[in-house]
Structure 1
């Protein structure tokens, strides 16, 4: 029988929970399973193949069916990717000739002829009114028949699935890893943590849940069991109320709180009462979410429970009936009087993490070196009480400020919404910036574990540290914002797929080519079907379930002019990225003569969910190096755009500015932490792919090699957050 969380484990860990069942002769079925996986770019590890071969054939077949469904969805192969032009990328017409053909076909039909003539008489024609524009003119099967089979190539992606423990062991291990994460999880991670928490709430628990959003999700499961809630701030209780209402536990977006049961109300009021009784100063946290606490009070009815008077004070503060002076007001008072060192000392004592995040402002506010020294000393004293994620974030900030302020600042919020503004800040003093950077490195090094024998895949060194899972979309082969990865192949092919929920929805895939000054050279879109050495597969304007719709862009990299390629997905009309039933973007790499269908799962290098707040998505940018080689740099950005008719021609300047901000920013990467870990390691080596040590190692790489010692500690993109110390 399948474990309810088996698919989730495979997605997050690339481990297949070892199925149990009667022994048998499953070797033939296991090899067939392995062959089927190869068609989608996966394979079984030697240990997993051996385990399956010793089970009954029926068990192997059932495991294969479930796992194949999971990995096909991971690559995007669970849907039928049709293309408007059946022979794509061959025989894509000139754009104007194609539009003229659609007009001729409309004029040839009795139904569309009058309307088309009327539009032509005005000099303006709406392509969407032409019957042959925007919809598939052939079936998926007819499209497949027009393409030869893909020729296997050495560069095809091959992702190894490893043998896991029992299903319950794997689910528990994943629960502990997600719940105890030192960095915030993305939307998918939080959702999956909720599923795991419901299954694992009565089993082993992490020693600490440092991320507040994770704590809210776990508290929801604990509340259902009647277990004690994990809450040491009033905001923890507010987050739990949002979780119970299926809302945003990060408190970024407003949540419409649901009516709560009497036991839930009692539990939340008791938690609030305990927090305030232990530390009345925490009432100050209410003011940051005053309106939300008012709504919570309407749901909890605190007046019905006089036994929890401290809880009632929370809502009195929210209503303005009781004053609770905030830390921010005290800090601003000190800064207003010129006492920068006093403000730093106050923050160091009350909110050390906030002190470190305020260092740039405090250092610039100092009138002289004595005050700057006092601020730096306060930060050094506070550093041991600050989370590793904040230490590394501030370290990255100091590194980017070391060379003076750039012309513009790029801001990206937790949901990927990006904007740009002029940078008017004065430069940071070099001496204090260097002193603080060294102090932060020393504190991070103190917390890092002894890696023993450290083995590193060089390909992972330029991956940005996952300081927040919110900066990374869910999917296959997706890396944190700012990461760099090589692009090896002659053909680069983007794809987008979407399935609308209720309204007709038109997404448009585009790619703009920029020069070294970030100015536009050319683009590919539905208005430019052939350009820049590439082809667009054609405009699809409606994506009903169950098949949805797909668009592609094909590029020959040696023919691309310019320094940057920026793929984009525009919402032209209909539902946004968070409203459709499904939407995802990805890219494939192929050798020049491989052929194959428009979509071939084993050539997919990345597939990323599109679930952002804007109407324009910028998943990543491709950069040409001085040596002519291409690399991808991950963006995970969303632009607001307009409610409809978003087009690549109209946002080129904004895109160029944003891309420049991300490309020229230096992110803190795995290379930085590996350098610190190497100081603790007994030995450090780079893995060349040829052989593995006999004993256990700490391995850091893009993929887990088959054959590592079972006692090895393995860090790959799936669990890269494990590198961030608590």
Structure 2
């Protein structure tokens, strides 16, 4: 358990919990530890190295073993990355010549010969029936022997691990940060919160837990620890029941409720009874999840507990035996009667719902008086709306003017995307601008006012994490819509997967588009070589894990966009595979090394979303020739089998266009508001570290900052979102 908690702190905070151990002369072991870290692209901070050097050698070694295992997994270096073509990227054959070689080898194979001849007579050969196609023809060690050692370069990644507090203090701080997050967490971070909540159930708790999914996970831990539950809606109880059954606390997917013990049933029924007794109107919330409540009622047996009659009403409403009038129904009745002003006044008491209905209200209003009434109500209730919702609507309104008459991109909470025509009417420009000004003023009012703010320019184009589900777990991952510079001459993508039970074939591809999003070319198993680069070869079965790579020379790319994608050709979905992840490396010129080198990895992200085509990010060339990454984190539904880059060119190009041309609210937007509010905002200068405490925002925590400084990096970027 200690190792797991230690790993959580390192992954989430890039901090090494201060090791507990006897003093000693650990300087030699500490330097060896630091050298081992650098071989995979990490390094100890000066404070961490100094502290470890003063501990016993055995303590340093124990710390090194745990830490190296964690950081190697973060970079994707915990598995063996073999390639089909041993010399990749050198000596990759022409696709047709390679296929013909596989056919010749099959004809020389006594067992395969007759089957291949029969296929040749029909004019079509299935590559998967050729014995030498799709499986490794050499060992991992033989592949390593074919490559020189990595030549070190200035541009190699070096991620610093800073010295933290004690493990208990670090774990408590991480728990409070995740549990109290103002934005929803991704599934991976929600799973981490579950571990932390169980460990911290009896310790300090956040003042508020605004995100309902987080509250469900914390309530599960509190119930197991015998602590009081945090419930204020009937849906909180439903989410808790889902958590206890190992289901989806977001309620997007149905949960199969397990048999619950009598104490648990009592606690859930007592919670429902208390919520309804306190606010009877909350019975209407049942209607949004009627089927789930009916299934839960079958497990709770409310008729056995007459002491909680209000709980029984919940299930009576779910079964349709008792009426409950929803707030939304009243709003719909007013809009159906063309009473926009009345609907806005009713929504005044539910500011969050008012913001969600804002576009419709403005489009439905037929007179200036009605539009003025809507805007006036919004301006009045904005201080009562969560910061995340205010920012989301601000971003929406910014893009609204350009969206009418174009394609709309819809992305659900799991990252699955689809495109539809925009058939909405126009939102009047005057009201749009008035609302944007009001929201800017409210956001600026809520932002902190540090005496001195230092900002790394590279972080200004990072999108605000308005939802943790707009990203994925991994190393160097940024929220959807973020833009980050790409510095290097060679860009190399990689995918790794290991199947759980069935034969599984993932295909790494790269689609090249011009400035109008038209296809220029692609690299895949059907096109192994192009002017731009090489594909490492197709692996079609991964019982022990498999990797594919694409090598690109950025200076040779003929298009404007590079869109890597992972297609499921056959077998297990991303969530079903034992492990699956994507990433990219950057290298300088003719920098040598193995196909996979951890310290050249710039990004590694888990592939665990829905759909059968993954689009992690896209790369765009600017007019000056420089390249930037635009983060997507999208999944296409794809076909049940045989997905190929050639078959999804149009849908991928449409999605990329929708994301690339949409403007996200960024860190730069917030820092400009802070500057307008009087904060002294300065550009970070690595050569001049200030003496006193500052607030620093950047991609990495710099060394030498005053210990009382507030540091915001991608690991805790959610802290920028005001409540």
What is the rounded CA distance, in whole Å, between the counterparts of 1:340 and 1:137 in structure 2? 70
Q: Alpha-carbon deviation of 1:686? A: 0.6
The 5 A counterparts of 1:186-585 are 186-349=186-349, 351-403=350-402, 405-545=404-544, 548-585=545-582
Give 1:406 shift: 4.7
Deviation at 1:677, TM superposition (A): 2.1
Residue range with higher mean Cα deviation, 646-655 or 376-385: 376-385
User: Compared with structure 1, are the counterparts of its residues 525 and 4 closer, same or farther at alpha carbon in structure 2 (3 Å cutoff)?
Assistant: closer
* Counterparts of 1:199 and 1:316, CA distance in 2: 37
1:151 shift after superposition:
0.7
CA contact (8 A) 2:3 2:66 kept: no
Aligned partners of 1:512 and 1:103: how far apart in 2?
28
TM-score by length of 2: 0.99
5 Å matches for 1:104-253?
104-253=104-253
**SS across alignment from 1:132:** coil
Instruction: Return 572-581 or 682-691, whichever deviates more.
Output: 682-691
Asked if structure 1 preserves the Cα contact closer than 8 Å seen for 2:107 and 2:113, the reply is yes
| Cα distance in 1 between the residues matched to 2:300 and 2:378 | 40
Q: Distance in 2 between matches of 1:151 and 1:570?
A: 32
The SS at the match of 2:137 is coil
Aligned 8 A contact 2:586 2:600 in 1? yes
Which deviates further from its counterpart, 68-77 or 444-453?
A: 444-453
Q: Distance in 2 between matches of 1:446 and 1:462?
A: 22
Number of the residue aligned with 2:103: 103
1:139 to partner: Cα distance? 0.3
Q: 1:243 to 1:382 in 2, by over 3 A?
A: same
Alignment match of 2:719 (pick from 711, 717, 722): 722
Distance 1:249 1:429, change over 3 A: same
Q: Would the aligned equivalents of 1:452 and 1:681 in 2 still touch at CA under 8 Å?
A: no
- SS in structure 2 of the partner of residue 35 of structure 1: helix
What aligned pairs does 1:644-659 form with structure 2 within 5 A after superposition? 644-659=641-656
Deviations 1:310-361 (A, max 9, x none): 1111100100011111111111100011111111111121x21111121111
The alpha-carbon deviation at position 681 of structure 1 amounts to: 5.3
Is the 2:671–2:681 contact (alpha carbons within 8 Å) kept by the matching residues of 1?
Answer: no
* Residue 4 (structure 1) shift: 4.1
SS in 2 for 1:363: helix
Contact 1:610 1:617 in 2 (8 A): yes
Matched, 1:640 2:641: no
Q: Displacement of 1:2 after TM fit?
A: 4.4
Distance in 1 (CA, whole Å) between partners of 2:717 and 2:709 is 15
Q: What residue number does 1:624 align with?
A: 621
Name the SS of the counterpart of 2:348 in structure 1: helix
Q: Which secondary structure does the structure 2 equivalent of 1:169 belong to?
A: helix
Task: Name which of 691, 695, 703 aligns with 1:694.
Answer: 691
What is the CA deviation profile of residues 422-448 of structure 1, one whole-angstrom value per residue up to 9, with x for unaligned ones?
011122111111111111112222222
Q: Distance in 1 between matches of 2:45 and 2:605?
A: 25
Q: Are the counterparts in 2 of residues 523 and 532 from structure 1 also a CA contact under 8 Å?
A: no
Q: Deviations over 1:559-611 (max 9, x none)?
A: 00111000000000000000000000000000111110000000000000000
Give me the TM-score of the superposition, normalised by structure 1: 0.99
CA distance in 2, matches of 1:418, 1:406: 19
- Note the C-alpha offset of 1:403: 3.9
Q: Which SS does the other structure have where 1:508 is aligned? A: strand
CA distance in 1, matches of 2:679, 2:537: 57
Q: 1:684, CA displacement in angstroms?
A: 1.4
Give, in angstroms, the shift of residue 452 of structure 1. Answer: 2.1
**Range 312-321 or range 687-696, more displaced:** 687-696
Which has the larger displacement, 447-456 or 235-244?
Answer: 447-456
Check whether the contact 1:615–1:640 (CA below 8 A) recurs between aligned residues.
yes
Deviations 1:499-551 (A, max 9, x none): 00000100000000001111111000000000141100000000113xx0000
Name the residue aligned to 2:589: 592
Counterpart position of 2:52: 52
1:404–1:551 distance in 2 versus 1, CA, 3 Å = closer
Kindly provide the CA deviation profile for residues 46-67 of structure 1, in whole angstroms up to 9, marking residues without a partner as x.
0100100000011001101110
Q: Label 1:42 to 1:404 Cα distance change in 2 as closer, same or farther (>3 A).
A: closer
1:677-716 paired onto structure 2 within 5 Å? 677-680=674-677, 682-716=679-713
Question: C-alpha distance in 2, partners of 1:176/1:648?
Answer: 43
Paired residue secondary structure (1:480)? coil
In the alignment, the residues of structure 2 paired with residue 400 and residue 406 of structure 1 have an alpha-carbon distance, to the nearest angstrom, of 13
Secondary structure of 1:567 counterpart:
strand
Q: Please name the residue that 1:84 is paired with.
A: 84
Moved more, 684-693 or 521-530: 684-693
Cross-structure match for 2:673: 676
Q: Aligned residue pairs: how many?
A: 723
Question: Shift of residue 689 of structure 1?
Answer: 2.3
Q: Which has the higher mean CA deviation after the structures are superposed, 400-409 or 458-467?
A: 400-409
CA distance in 2, matches of 1:313, 1:46: 62
Q: CA RMSD in A?
A: 1.0
> What CA distance in whole angstroms lies between the structure 1 residues aligned with 2:600 and 2:405?
38
Deviation at 1:688, TM superposition (A): 3.0
Indicate which of 586, 603, 606 corresponds to 1:606: 603
Deviations 1:640-679 (A, max 9, x none): 1111100011000000111100001001111111112224
Alpha-carbon displacement from aligned partner over 1:14-43 (angstroms, at most 9, x marks no partner): 000000110000111111111111111100
CA–CA separation in structure 1 for the residues paired with 2:83 and 2:460: 37
How many Å separate the matches in 1 of 2:80 and 2:626?
Answer: 33
Q: How does 1:17-96 map to 2 (within 5 A)?
A: 17-96=17-96
**Matches of 2:619 and 2:387, distance apart in 1:** 31
Q: Secondary structure at the match of 1:493?
A: strand
Rounded Cα–Cα distance in structure 2 between residues aligned with 1:161 and 1:256: 42
The CA distance in 2 between the partners of 1:680 and 1:206, in whole Å, is 29
Looking at structure 1, the residues matched to 212 and 270 of structure 2 have their Cα atoms a distance apart, in angstroms, of: 19
User: Is residue 404–residue 428 contact of structure 1 (8 Å, CA) maintained in 2?
Assistant: no
Query: Offset of 1:450 from its aligned partner?
Result: 2.3
CA–CA separation in structure 1 for the residues paired with 2:377 and 2:275: 28
CA contact (8 A) 1:485 1:632 kept: yes
422-431 vs 90-99, which moves further: 422-431
Query: Residue 5 of structure 1: SS of its match in structure 2?
Result: helix
Deviates more, 1:354-363 or 1:5-14: 354-363
Please state whether the residue corresponding to 1:341 is helix, strand or coil: helix
Structure 1 residue matching 2:703: 3-state secondary structure: coil
Tell me the distance in 2 between the aligned counterparts of 1:404 and 1:169: 47
